[in-house]
Amino acid sequence: MKVRPTGNRVLLKLIDEEEKKTPGGLVLPDSANSEQVLRGEVLAVGTDEKIEVKTGDVVWVSRYGGTEIEREKEKLLIVKATDILAVVTEK
């Protein structure tokens, strides 16, 4: 199945962060994560010419922005381009 976002939307593949553990070795659930942003890789962009990201970019988006979907056991997120907080680049 191929997914192509429309308009000013962007399709992201969520990048899993490392599991958080306590010093005693207990694994903390995602709900205990205090970070308010998610990291994702841009898989596809909509048809709006004003979108500033391109396929392959790694971006940060708000934890509560967009719509999460699952495709072939993979977590994807569709967000508006304006909900992208930053593009992450190597030094």
List pLDDT tens digits, range 13-26: 988 765 556 677 66
Banded pLDDT at 60 (limits 50, 70, 90): very high
Specify the pLDDT at position 81.
93
Q: Is residue 22 part of a domain?
A: no
Domain coverage including residue 6: 1-15+34-91
Q: Is residue 23 part of a domain?
A: no
Query: Where does residue 38 rank: exposed (0-12), middle (13-18), buried (19+ CB within 10 A)?
Result: buried
Residue 14 CA to residue 77 CA, distance in Å, equals: 7
pLDDT score of 67 more than 80: yes
Average pLDDT rounded to a whole number, residues 35-50: 89
DSSP-based three-state secondary structure for 32? helix
| Number of domains the chain contains | 1
Q: Is residue 80 part of a domain?
A: yes
Q: Give per-residue pLDDT as tens, 70-82.
A: 888 888 999 999 9
DSSP-based three-state secondary structure for 40? strand
Q: Is residue 20 part of a domain?
A: no
Q: Is residue 29 part of a domain?
A: no
